[in-house]
Copies of this chain bind each other. A is one copy, B any other.
Amino acid sequence: MAKRVIDDVRMRGFAQRHTVQSALEWLDAQLEPLPAEAVPLRAAAARVLANSIVSDVDVPGFDRATMDGYAVVADSTEGAAAYSRLPLTVIGESMPGRPFDGSMMPGQAVRVMTGAPMPRCADAVLPAEWVDADDLGDAIISALSAVPPGKNVGKRGEDIVRGTTVLEAGRMLRPQDLGLLSSIGHGEVHVIRRPRVRLAVTGNELLPAGTQPHDFHIADANGPMLTALIERDGGIVDFCGPLRDDRDAILEALHAEADIVVVSGGSSVGVEDLAPTLVAEHGELAVHGIAMRPSSPTGLGRIGHRIVILLPGNPVSCLCAYDFFGGRAVRALGGRSKAWPYRSVRAKLNRKINSQIGRLDYARVKVENGSVEPLSIGGASVLSSATRADGFVIVGDDSEGFAAGTEVEVWLYA
């Protein structure tokens, strides 16, 4: 009897809700980027640099031809023109990786390919188009134009000068950055470690993903969705299918070897909502209940070094709470920007969106012909509202909503 009363009291909802702002403040205070690890360039795309990179070589390490043609001593071509052909003696060739082994004198030419090292004493390249190579025989060519010193020559260090900081710590590595790192001799790079995320999806009603739903059971939607979200945000997911609403199973997940534990389901104040109590008992439940719709039964806390994110089981609430809190934590621990990885566009609403002062709303919308249509089916359990939607509009907790015709910012899922 006593227990029933307590349960019923606990079913009454949250005594008090945190604002989204205060929940984010608590969360952000926990989000130190993880330590660095060395990875080969091959695995470094989109990883975040742990330290700035200074080149200890010049790139290129030698002067080189930037066109196909003939390396020459520039001054010795003075006066050459189509009507005043200047003969040059071809004394050899320089190819990329296979330089001409000798010095040049005025009046001489060395055949070069783009990228080839410049011969000693040569200081310009006469492009192939400015030369007539077949009127004077094998070893003699005619210059049809003069070239100034330095023309068509890439100087040593023209790309990177030794000692230059080429990439700053904190940068998310782009494909061309990997090329650059390779060009200065870096085969591996120190990047922020990816956060390990234990994903625990709880619910006695849940069948593993890929199971045909039957009787009063439903197939787990949150496991596949959260796995893809966490990986998109750079996390390494540890997920083994749904758990029962069982104290020991949840407790084990909460103590997993992980940087973040994400629990989906059982996050509210009902009798089978075990996770919040367990977090409070074994660590710190800093935030529980947030003034937002959907996702109000969201919790944030810590167990030891682990950040714990308790997400509602309803799939749309789960997605919304992940977007606000889970993704932010995963990205920030991995050194990425806390900001949403979604592109936004501004467009006008063609119907009003209602909200309430004191509550933030996450409204799924379609964008059609440049205008924004709020989806009418908005239940937190209706996942198809988030697949039919093109994105979402946020109504802040200082607003009662937006009138039709208001220009709003839409965050696009794709």
The residues of B that contact A272 with a CB separation of less than 8 Å are 95-96, 113
The residues of B that contact A128 with a CB separation of less than 8 Å are 8, 11-13
**A133/B8 contact (C-beta < 8 A), A97-B217, A216-B117 known:** yes
Chain A contributes a number of interface residues (CB within 8 A of B) equal to 105
The residues of B that contact A138 with a CB separation of less than 8 Å are 1, 4
**Which of A57, A214, A226, A228 is the most central at the interface, judged by chain B CB atoms within 10 Å of its CB?**
A228
Q: How far is the CA of A183 from the CA of B221 in the complex (A)?
A: 5
Which of these, B99, B131, B167, B181, contacts A224 with CB under 8 Å? B181
13 residue pairs of the A-B complex, CB under 8 angstroms, read A8-B134, A11-B68, A13-B128, A59-B213, A61-B213, A66-B380, A96-B203, A97-B204, A97-B206, A115-B205, A175-B226, A182-B221, A186-B210
**A182/B42 contact (C-beta < 8 A), A113-B272, A229-B175 known:** no
**CB <8 Å contact, B45 and A387:** no
Q: Does chain B have a CB within 8 A of A271?
A: yes
Spot the interface stretch: A282-290, A301-309, A313-321.
A313-321
The residues of B that contact A106 with a CB separation of less than 8 Å are none
Q: How far is the CA of A115 from the CA of B160 in the complex (A)?
A: 61
Chain A window 154-168, contacts with chain B (Cβ cutoff 8 Å), 1 for yes, 0 for no: 100011100000110
The residues of B that contact A175 with a CB separation of less than 8 Å are 224-229, 232, 319
* Chain B: minimal CB distance from A243 (Å): 12
**A216/B11 contact (C-beta < 8 A), A4-B138, A211-B185 known:** no
Copies in the complex: 2
The residues of B that contact A96 with a CB separation of less than 8 Å are 203-205, 216, 272
Smallest CB gap from A210: residue in B: B187
**CB <8 Å contact, A270 and B113:** yes
Which of these, B61, B231, B384, contacts A180 with CB under 8 Å? B384
The residues of B that contact A5 with a CB separation of less than 8 Å are 133-134
The residues of B that contact A231 with a CB separation of less than 8 Å are 45
The residues of B that contact A184 with a CB separation of less than 8 Å are 213, 219
**A97/B203 contact (C-beta < 8 A), A40-B210, A384-B159, A386-B176 known:** yes
**CB <8 Å contact, B384 and A45:** no
| Chain A contacts with B in 337-357, Cβ cutoff 8 A | 343
**A42/B387 contact (C-beta < 8 A), A12-B129, A133-B8, A213-B57 known:** no
Chain A window 360-395, contacts with chain B (Cβ cutoff 8 Å), 1 for yes, 0 for no: 000000000000000001011111101100000000
Q: Does chain B have a CB within 8 A of A172?
A: yes
Q: Does chain B have a CB within 8 A of A50?
A: no
